[in-house]
Every structure is written in structure tokens, then in C-alpha cells.
Structure 1
């Protein structure tokens, strides 16, 4: 396989050859339902989704620079609630104004913009017909003292429908004490969303202090996030948002000593995945019904090497068989032109035909 464009290679640095030439010997790409121009016809047409859902899924996949490829680049800006507005927008106060969030998504060539009822509702009449809206229906509000971590509903599916949204998004903290309630709430919400014709995206996050074992954090382990993905598609999420795996063996770590947690099979670690980041992410895709629900990985927080990290995450996602990236803070916590450039770098990975599925 030919190497990618020089700019992408440079950003990948010493990992370039490994990430761009790796062959996945765990779960074959031939077993996957891969993103393509005909993805809705090939995959979702077979499902119980009604024509209105199919139309909105297609509109999401047809918009922006990646339109018609089957891949997605989504700008998510719900951090004003999830991480507090001051902390999120201090690096660039322009984004206190919801219109600038929408402008970034449009100028950045995104497939859609995901944000709160308040943000999207404030500018819906001006922009809902110009870029697909994804309304985030629940949040961790981060104001209770001391801080608690729970996802609570902020509005109704009918409200999202009325403002012209193409899809709704929700988060479940799988593994938390509140997860059973969140599962039931999101299941009912997604059922209603599909009835009204809205597509559904689920943030399948794991959260439990017990997932940190002997100084190692397993919240992003392939086995635990993979199972969270599997629960997400069971709830009929059309697209799964997940953090890219950083390790594996969460179940093993939690079952040390006398504890008994979940179920595992050694093949998860020996045959279905390896230590390579592409293989770990391939296991996440497999748990999304082998790609019948698209896997989009999150871009993570902003830092010193945002461009390199974003491109690395995109390359791993694409080569694993994923559907794209949903990157927010790396883009909006900088000047508009730089944010657009970062989003375009991510999209360039999915537009580069030389970067193929491993």
C-alpha cells in the first residue's frame, strides 16, 4: 500500500509506517460492514428503521467534505454543560455565542454539528436546513456539590424534532450506579426518536472508579469499551461514539483476587485483538455488530499536539473499519481558521484513498 500524503506522514511521525501499513490478522475486514457511498442502502435498508430515519441518516452522510463517502466528521460542542462553559470557552470566548459553533461546523466541512437544546435551538431557524443538527438530549451537569457524575435528561425528543434536527445523541455511563436508569431512559428516547424519523447516536462511555486498578486506568480498555458498544447497538443506536482504546484487559484486571466481574474469554485477548491500536479499535467495530452501526471515535481534549493526535486517531479509526471522528475541543478551543484547518486534516485522512482498511 502506498503511503499517505506527506503532511499526514509527517504528523504521524515515527508511527507513520506502522499505522499506515499494518495488516489486521485478528478480525478480517471481509467480515465487516464498511462505510461506503451506499452504506444506508447496504446496511440500514435491511433494518426496521423507517424511511424518515433512512432519509436523515443519508442526509448526515451526504453533507460536508466527506459527503458521499460513507464517513463522518462531526463537531460536538456540549462541553458548556459537561465541562462548564467558562472552562470550555475561556480559550476562545467567541464560542459562548451558539452561532459561532454552527459557523465552525459549516466552514470546517463537517457532516453535522452536535450540541445542546439551548445552543441549537437558539439558531435553529437560521441553520437547521443548512447543516444536520444532532441534539444532545442528556448531560452531566457538573454543578451539584460535591460533583456527581450522572447523565440526566435536558429535554424531549419532540423538542428536537420540532427544531428540525436530523438526529439525537445521548450518553450512558456504562458501569456506573446510575447506568440501569440511564439505559431505560435512553431506550425509550431512542424508540421515540426512530418513530419520528430521527437518527440516533450514543456516547457509550464507561465510568466507575473500580475501573482503575493498581494505577492502571481501564476506562478505555478494548474489552470494556467493546461491551459498552455492544450494549449501545442493542439499544438501537445507529452510530456509536466511543473513546479509542488505550489498552486491553479490563475484565482481567477487575477479576484479580476474589472478585468476580462480568464474563470473559481468553480469545478476546489472544485471537480477537492484539496490542496494536488498529486491532484494539477493530474489536470495538466488531462489537458494533461488525460495523452495522458505525463507530465514530472521540477526538479527546485539546493539548500541545492536537493536529498530530487528531490525524493519528483518524488513521486508526479508518483503518480499523470505523465511520469517522467526532472532535470538538481540539477545534473550538483555538482561532476559527486553525479550527477549520484541524477539522480538514481529519477529513483528509478519510478522503485519502491510499489509507485503506487494514
Structure 2
């Protein structure tokens, strides 16, 4: 029955696309439908088509509103540009970190089933006094949950105990990931989840995965930092109208000291009267990457929010871009 429902939904989506083509003309699909699909017309040159795709990427970056500190996702909801990552935070340390973040004005909290701290995150939010609708909560399904994804989503809702989940991601590609994503689609229809996304998906994985699902991911969350910049992946994702979010923006646990001591980052930090951490976060934002640095230190959590009162020059951005050395640090 579920497979029939999804086939039916895809058929309806196709019929709507045909209607949109009829009403608006072949060249207007992206404007009449979701705005996230670029279709080449028969009379459109490859150069023009590529320019339209480039415009999609530019639009994503332009949607970063530095006044409101939010970005509009492809489903119309808004998400904060900076947040708190909670990997490795447990118990009282986790609740205190989330509380400190909320007190510092942070309104984006990232957690996951595998982190084992959804309950603490939810508790801190519930006890903070901050209205629920002001906080954007991301959690994730781990591959060992994919077979029973619908149940796992309900378990996440129960653990968080905050009414609903703003965004549910698949934590990694894995067996039955398409079926798990469809469970998230169903949860969106049921009002349990507001948006769907992916984590640790790259170009090859996305090219295989996306044609199999109905709801375009609103976000892809990957490791991104000056030493691992994903300069081929980020533009690809943004051209699809999908927002990119970076975890480990400081290079990962055990590697932050080296990155903060980088001569280039130190020089740019001194120019702006900022810390290397703030320079890295601002560099991400100007590339169109949402940031979720992790910390349990209230001073560092506050420092990581103070990234909106300065701007990096084109030259400074280029100098940081030149630091890329494809140095990846998996979190697990």
C-alpha cells in the first residue's frame, strides 16, 4: 500500500509538471514549479542552461539574509545560518551547552540518534523559556534505523518531546536509504517533521539517490572546513536549490589547534580583530554554507555567534580557499 501511495504521488507530481509546462511554456518550469529544477528548452543553448544553473547556485547564496541571520529553504521555511552541533555532548554537559547556546541567541540545534543526546537537547529547549517555534531542531536517522524508519522517527519525537522536528536527515547513505527517506516524506505529510535532508552525501550518491525520491532535500550536511573545502560538491548541491550545511567547521576534534594556528587565518583574524574561529565561520557563510560548530564552553559558544559585524574581502576569501588540502576527518 505504501509503495502504491508513493507511485501515485509521483504520478500526480508528473501530471502537475505537465500542466505547468502547458500553462507557462517549456522555459518556465523552474518558476512555475518548485524553483529548484533547471530544465533546458529545445531552443536553449548549453551555455544558457549552464548559466541558469549557475543562477540557482547564486540564488542560494543570496538567500542568506545576514540581517535576520536566516536562509529560506526550498520548501519555504527559514532556518538560522549558525547553530550548535551537539556531537559528543551528553548528560548535564549537553543540557548546559544547549542552554548556553539559546541564551547566546543561537536558534539552530543539531543532534542525532547516534549521538545519544536527543532527550537532553529537548529538555534544554523545553526548559529554556524560548518559544518552540523560534528554535530549529535537526536530528538524524542512522543507517541501522533505516529498516524501521517510521518507528525511529516516532522514537525521536518521543525522545526530544518538543512537539515536532524541524528537519530530519539521513545520517549516511545505506541499505534502504530510499525507503527511510520516504518515511520522512510521510512524516512531513503527517505534520511530525517540517523538512527532509541528507548528511554525508556527495555527488555520486546524490546523482543516484535524488531521482528515487519525491521531496527534494532541503539541506545536505557534510564535513566542510578550510582544509577540506568540497569545492566540487558545494556548487553541485547549491545548483540543485539545496542549502549546504557544514559540520566540523574547525577541522574536527584533535585538529582544531593546528587550524587555529594557521598563519593565514591568524593574519586575517588580526586584521579584523577577530579569532581564527570567527574567520572560519564567516568564510563558510560567505560561501553559502550554514555552520554548526560544536562546543560546551559558554564563552566559545557566544564567540561563535559574533560573525555578523564584519566581512571578508575577495582577497581574504581567496587566501582561505587556497588552504584546501583535501584533509577529511570523519566524526566516527
Shared fold per TM-score greater than 0.5: no
State the TM-score, normalized to the length of structure 1.
0.39
Q: Which structure is richer in relative contact order (CA contacts within 8 A, separation 6 or more)?
A: 1
TM-score (norm 2): 0.41
